[in-house]
Amino acid sequence: MSLSHEERRETILAQLGTEGKVQVHALAVSFNVSTETIRRDLDRLEKEGKLRKVYGGAVLARSEQTEPAFIKRSRMHSGEKQMIGKLAASLIHDGETILLDNGTTTIEIMKQLKDRSDVTVITNSVPILNLALKEFKGKIIFTGGEVNAKFQAATGPMVYELLDQFKVNKAFISAGGISMSDGITDFHPEEAGVSRKMMQRAEEAILVADHSKFGVTTFAKICSIEDISMIITDASCPQEWLDTLQRLDVEVLTGKSPKRRKNQ
């Protein structure tokens, strides 16, 4: 029996979220409906802004390429980001040095570390630096370099030169989007470059991202999903993504995940 429009809609969106594209003829065969029916489904989803039709099928609609201001972003999914920050901080052991890139989720990690005098934090983020100067009892190292007022972060060659001087335990990386077809992306090449360099200088690269980032592609690629050691997200992460990441052998921690043991 053929699926209803709503059932087809959810399946199409799930496939787009993990694969980034769908083909009309393949969907018609899978759903046992005509290609005209599939094209009507894609027309409706395009009008909703969920996808963009291309020859023979459709691809995931790209997100807006203008990143919201830091303060506005910090208010979006704030509860999920706070939970992710707590879970990420629980993985940081005494005596470790960590890297935090510039993001509204990584700043939540910094908030959880304020009483950790035995932790060293290296960051290129001005908001994280300002917070650390007020509350953090550990050691804070700012990467320096040219500070971009729009990003509120240091970027460029001087940041890379300083990061090359360190080898750290963990790098916590934020992202604008996560897509199977395009990998982990950010809005700005400058910030993507810093995140990529931080990953290179860490024993573990850990992505912190709430559920709204999955199935989204932004402008500048940071890395492939397989380059990440672990992803920390919230309990609303779509199940199809959790299944896909498991097949890729990428460890995922969510709000309902048990805390990872030290020897793991």
Burial (CB < 10 A; 0-12, 13-18, 19+), residue 23, is middle
Question: What local confidence, expressed as pLDDT, does residue 263 receive?
Answer: 42
pTM of the entire structure? 0.76
Q: How many helices (H) and strands (E) does the chain have?
A: 10, 15
- Name 63's Cβ contacts closer than 8 Å, sequence gap at least 6: 176, 177, 216, 217, 218
Confidence of residue 10 (pLDDT cuts 50, 70, 90): confident
Predicted local distance difference test score (pLDDT) of residue 4 = 83
Map out the domains of the chain with their CATH numbers.
Answer: 5-60 (1.10.10.10), 70-253 (3.40.50.1360)
Q: Over pLDDT 90: what percentage of the chain?
A: 59
